[in-house]
């Protein structure tokens, strides 16, 4: 039985003459990828619980253009960006939150030069803010005694210098936070960035996500927390490849927090 989520679109709110506090940029993976949709729903449940006044663009949202840009198609990127910026500016959006570090990076860093200036946050940053303000209580009982490692997404960590927000959230979970051998600025890519997600890898001796999964196997966590829908795909595939499905779970931070709060 599907649980109805309380989600407004910008168009809904505009019809009522209202404006949300923050726009939730869902992203293509969050909208269409079955696994990532669970992350989207978890994040929305948290926003609903805390009472954050948010809205989505819904069918008016379109790819930020990030994979086109990283694949070298700057023309398509800028066309996507300018289309999105027209929509965002029409709705007078000031603040954006997204669960995808690629959307986050593009919206935050690459849109301003094309006329789109917004305060952009990764969902872990927004959640950390809510936690610090005391609005979001993170119940960690369910994870007591579990070992959780965080896999840094390239475009959040190295790309934008954010290493602390995800870890601050994990510390609240009452779990044992462990680090992978390669973490923070030395964190190894999952293999999906730069449009690799959408193609087979070049010939080599190993897949990048398998190399990364070996770091995970060595550190022996019960859970690997991720903050990116593409890392989610790559890490989940890695777990299957190593046949660790029974002992190793991959969750997005939003899922862990929603789960901890019984959402």
Partner 1 sequence: MGLENILFIVVLATAVFWFSKNLKTIIRNINLGKDLDISDNKTERWKKMLMIAIGQSKMVKKPISGLMHIVVYAGFVIINIEVLEIVIDGILGTHRVFAAPLGGFYDFLIASFEVLALLVLTACVIFLIRRNLLSIKRFGFREMIGWPKTDANIILIVEVLLMGAFLKMNAADSILQARGVEHYSQAGAFPVSSMIVPLLEGFSTSSLIVFERVTWWFHIIGIFLFLNYLPYSKHFHIILAFPSVFYSKLKPKGEFDNMASVKKEVELMFDPSADPYAAPAEPEGPIERFGAKDVQDLSWKQLMDSYSCTECGRCSEQCPAAQTGKLLSPRKIMMDTRDRLEEVGKNIDQHGVEHQDGKSLLGDYIQEEELWACTTCNACVDACPIELNPLSIIMDMRRSLVMEESKVPSELAGMITNIENNGAPWQFAQADRANWINED
Q: In a 3-state reduction of DSSP, which class is residue 224?
A: strand
Q: Quote the CA–CA distance of 91 and 202 in Å, as a whole number.
A: 42
Under rule CB under 8 A, which residues in 98-117 are in contact with partner 1?
Answer: 105, 108-110, 113-114
Which of 116, 140, 191, 227 is in the footprint of partner 1 by CB under 8 A? 191
Nearer to partner 1, 174 or 179 (CB): 179
The structure tokens listed for 17 are 């003459």
Cβ of residue 76: shortest distance to partner 1, in angstroms?
A: 6
Binding window for partner 1 (CB under 8 A); candidates: 132-140, 170-178, 186-194, 251-259: 186-194
Binding mask 9-48 for partner 1 (x = CB under 8 A): x----------------x-x-xxxx---x--xx--x----
Binding mask 114-133 for partner 1 (x = CB under 8 A): x-------------------
Binding of residue 76 to partner 1 (CB under 8 A): yes
> In the chain, what are the helix, strand and coil shares in percent, each to the nearest 5?
50, 10, 40
Beta carbons within 10 angstroms of residue 61's beta carbon: 22
Under rule CB under 8 A, which residues in 150-169 are in contact with partner 1?
Answer: 154-155, 158-161
Binding of residue 61 to partner 1 (CB under 8 A): yes
Q: Quote the CA–CA distance of 227 and 153 in Å, as a whole number.
A: 6
Strand order in the sheet with 176-178: 176-178, 147-150, 223-226, 249-252
Binding of residue 207 to partner 1 (CB under 8 A): yes
DSSP state string for 114-170 = GT---EEEEHHHHHHHHHHTTS-----GGGTT-EEEE---TTTTTTT---HHHHHHH
Which of 20, 67, 166, 238 is in the footprint of partner 1 by CB under 8 A? 67
Under rule CB under 8 A, which residues in 224-263 are in contact with partner 1?
Answer: none
């Amino acid at each position: 039985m599907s649980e109805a989520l309380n989600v407004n679109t910008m168009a809904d709110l505009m019809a009522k003459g209202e404006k949300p506090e923050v726009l939730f940029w869902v992203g293509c993976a969050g909208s269409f990828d079955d696994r990532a949709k669970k992350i989207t729903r978890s994040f929305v449940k948290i926003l609903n619980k805390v009472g954050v006044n948010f809205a989505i663009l819904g069918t008016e949202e379109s790819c930020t253009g990030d994979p086109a840009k990283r694949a070298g198609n700057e023309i398509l990127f800028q066309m996507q960006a300018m289309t999105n910026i027209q929509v965002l500016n029409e709705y007078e959006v000031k603040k954006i939150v997204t669960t995808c570090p690629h959307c986050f990076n593009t919206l935050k860093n690459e849109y301003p030069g094309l006329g789109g200036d917004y305060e952009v946050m990764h969902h872990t940053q927004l959640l950390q803010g809510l936690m610090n303000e005391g609005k979001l209580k993170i119940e960690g009982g369910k994870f007591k005694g579990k070992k959780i490692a965080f896999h840094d997404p390239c475009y959040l960590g190295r790309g934008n210098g954010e290493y602390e927000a995800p870890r601050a959230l994990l510390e609240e979970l009452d779990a044992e936070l462990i680090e992978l051998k390669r973490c923070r600025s030395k964190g190894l890519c999952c293999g999906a960035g730069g449009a690799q997600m959408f193609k087979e890898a070049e010939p080599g001796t190993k897949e990048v996500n398998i190399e990364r999964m070996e770091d995970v196997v060595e550190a022996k966590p019960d859970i690997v927390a991720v903050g990116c829908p593409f890392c989610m795909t790559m890490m989940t595939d890695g777990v299957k490849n190593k046949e660790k499905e029974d002992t190793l779970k991959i969750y997005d931070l939003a899922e862990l927090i929603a789960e901890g709060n019984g959402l």
